[in-house]
Structure 1
Amino acid sequence: MLAAAQQIAVDTLDDKRFHLRVGMGTHGLTRDEIHANAGLNAIGQYYGDLDELRAILAPMLGIGTAEERARNKASVREVTPGQASELLSATTPVQQFATKSAVLTSRTLLSDEQIGAAAERLLEWPGSDNEEGAGFAMFALGGEINQVPPDATAFVHRNGVFILAAETSWADYDPPRVATANLHWLSEFYQSIFGDTPPSQSYQNFPDPTLKDWRRAYYGANYDRLVEVNRTYDPTNFFSYPQAIGT
């Protein structure tokens, strides 16, 4: 399913009417709950004819049992703008969470081996009381995003197909050992996907305190210019945190 979704994203990279987010995840406290809740998900939107959308999604809609195919086909439907805003609404994880990201280009899309390794590691998630659980989401880029030159704005990621965000979460009231186990798992989960050579770019809105060369990963060649802007408009570094521009 994820392989099909990646190919669809490549095929529709220049189509401004289409957007897709896919991922895998789970939640729960016990091993049985974590295994039972593990699964894949997809959500998105298309500004066009319903039959056109089903044709675009055909490689995904043709996967699974007859019952699964029927259910997935029925989930692709025409809605009003108000209904769409409800269906597409999402929040960042509440309570405690950590994330690691990567910008995937057409040359660094996930292989079947990488997806399989991530799926295996997902089932080894240590669990927590946070219903947000753990896993990864892939947010498709393309469209107008990729039409802007990388040096035109602070946002440098203009040649990507997806932003991948690997996440784990735990509750405020979980004991410290749960947080430690989740952070350790996240590092292993990310490494199971990318090994020791992850993609060079990461998304600054998914900050990763463990990222070594975060300046280039977040901002690329734009970083030095952003430092000059920061010195001009925030000379005292009022807007500052450990990965702030100029630190």
Structure 2
Amino acid sequence: MSRLSRVALGPQRRAVVGAGARLIDIYAGLWEHGLTVPAGTCPTVGIAGLTLGGGIGFGARKFGLTCDNLVEATVVTASGRALVCNAHEHADLYWALRGGGGGNFGVVTRFVFRTHPVAGVATYALEWPWSDARPVVQAWQKWAPHAPDGLFSVCNLNCAGGGSPRITSAGQFFGTAQQLKTLIAPLTATGSPTRVSVVSRTYMDAARMWAGCSGTIAECHLQPQGALGRSTFKGKSDYANKLFSARAVDTLVRGIESRKTRGSGSAIVLLDSSGGAINRVPKGATAFVHRDALFSLQYLAYWQPTDPPAVGAANLRFLRNLYAAMRPFVSGFSYQNYIDPELSSWKHAYYGSNLARLVSVKRRHDPGNVFNFRQSIPTRL
């Protein structure tokens, strides 16, 4: 699949992308034309899986999810047929490919995306003393989901074993630095920020910055082709459809604080803002059902691949305990691109009210369940 990586500009300035293309190459190829497709921040992620499960990133509140910008796909089904799927041909499969998860219906070989003109953006980075964590989370959750569409924001709570917990926030705005300074005032007025940074960048420089690879595009690939290494981690996810209570915020903060005494490794919880263009799409318009969330949560535990098994086990216990502690405060939904083999309620958590229709599409295009895995959409409920 990695050889199907061509990125080209087609009629109507639409991006024609091979299913093996990596995000950093799509960003770079389209940037030459002053265009983009909204996608994620991790440079080595493939476009196929990202699109099929949704596709959240710093352009999502302005331009929609990656799947919302998909206008056509070519899919090889279990029968061996190559189907061109769009709003007029095989529309049922086209619907399912926009958020129904990767690997369920066939092998997608080609995507066609709507593109958007881009030039400059402004980014911000804030940090506070940990003693401000509770009011910062409260302020962020009331502000971020309702900010102008052009502003995507993340709140980051993290702690390494034996270290001190930290709380930061970062975001990107399609506008000027002065406009962004005004927009983040509810955050800078909360607590006593120790770092306030607002910077104007080109869209491509911002993409490289979020990707953690400020060097050449070639370096923004995994070794040995590039300079990036792999991480060892476990993740889980949630969606919050209503504001966290003081008790919920306290549970989250105390959970991160407990990581100080849990040995090697580190823990991160990322709150990613929803709203804007993401939430204006009706739940049933695509297979991506998470259209009424305020924000999502990523729970992440990291350790080194050379660590003894006991270290990995301890990090997993921490992650599971924090995730369990947050159950009373979240929606019961999870992001299907953060696939979690431990999730017993995955059918509802990933697909909600769209599950029955996805099962129908699966039965029509893969009746023999050729494309199956532990959490694949079944042919029957």
* TM-score range normalised by the length of the shorter chain: 0.7 to 0.9
Q: Do residues 199 (structure 1) and 321 (structure 2) align?
A: no
Unaligned runs of at least 5 residues, structure 1: none
Which residues in structure 2 correspond to 1:15-94 (within 5 Å)? 15-28=148-161, 31=162, 34-35=163-164, 38-65=165-192, 68=194, 71-72=195-196, 75-89=197-211, 94=230
- Conserved in 1, the CA contact under 8 Å of 2:239 and 2:330? no
- In structure 2, what is the equivalent of residue 121 of structure 1? 255
- In structure 1, what is the equivalent of residue 235 of structure 2? 99
3-state secondary structure, aligned to 1:144: helix
Higher Cα radius of gyration: 2
What is the deviation of 1:90? Answer: 5.7
Q: TM-score, normalised by structure 2?
A: 0.55
Q: TM-score, normalised by structure 1?
A: 0.82
3-state secondary structure, aligned to 2:279: helix
Quote the Cα distance in structure 2 between the aligned partners of 1:172 and 1:217. Answer: 30
Quote the Cα distance in structure 2 between the aligned partners of 1:119 and 1:193. Answer: 11
Quote the Cα distance in structure 1 between the aligned partners of 2:364 and 2:334. Answer: 26
3-state secondary structure, aligned to 2:258: coil
What is the deviation of 1:88? Answer: 2.1
> Which string of whole-angstrom CA distances, capped at 9 and with x for unpartnered residues, describes residues 167-217 of structure 1?
11222222221222112111211233334x642211111122222221011
User: What RMSD in Å do the two structures reach over aligned CA positions?
Assistant: 2.3
- Conserved in 1, the CA contact under 8 Å of 2:289 and 2:352? yes
3-state secondary structure, aligned to 1:169: strand
- In structure 2, what is the equivalent of residue 222 of structure 1? 354
**Which letter maps to 1:139?**
D
Larger RCO (alpha carbons 8 Å, 6+ apart): 1
**Which letter maps to 2:144?**
A
**Which letter maps to 1:141?**
S
- In structure 1, what is the equivalent of residue 289 of structure 2? 156
Quote the Cα distance in structure 2 between the aligned partners of 1:200 and 1:140. Answer: 17
- In structure 2, what is the equivalent of residue 180 of structure 1? 313
**Which letter maps to 2:206?**
A
- In structure 1, what is the equivalent of residue 72 of structure 2? none
> Which string of whole-angstrom CA distances, capped at 9 and with x for unpartnered residues, describes residues 53-86 of structure 1?
11221121123447x2xx31xx112112232112
- In structure 1, what is the equivalent of residue 275 of structure 2? 142
Quote the Cα distance in structure 1 between the aligned partners of 2:303 and 2:370. Answer: 31
Aligned partner (choices 139, 157, 160) of residue 4 of structure 1 = 139
The 1:94/1:117 distance shift into structure 2, 3 A limit, reads farther
Q: Kindly indicate which of the two structures has a greater share of residues assigned to helix.
A: 1
- In structure 1, what is the equivalent of residue 245 of structure 2? 111
**Which letter maps to 1:221?**
S
The 1:238/1:127 distance shift into structure 2, 3 A limit, reads farther
**Which letter maps to 1:9?**
A
What is the deviation of 1:18? Answer: 1.1
3-state secondary structure, aligned to 1:45: strand
Quote the Cα distance in structure 1 between the aligned partners of 2:290 and 2:153. Answer: 17
What is the deviation of 1:233? Answer: 2.6
> Which string of whole-angstrom CA distances, capped at 9 and with x for unpartnered residues, describes residues 5-42 of structure 1?
11112432xx32111111201224xx2xx22xx21122
**Which letter maps to 1:56?**
L
The 1:155/1:136 distance shift into structure 2, 3 A limit, reads same
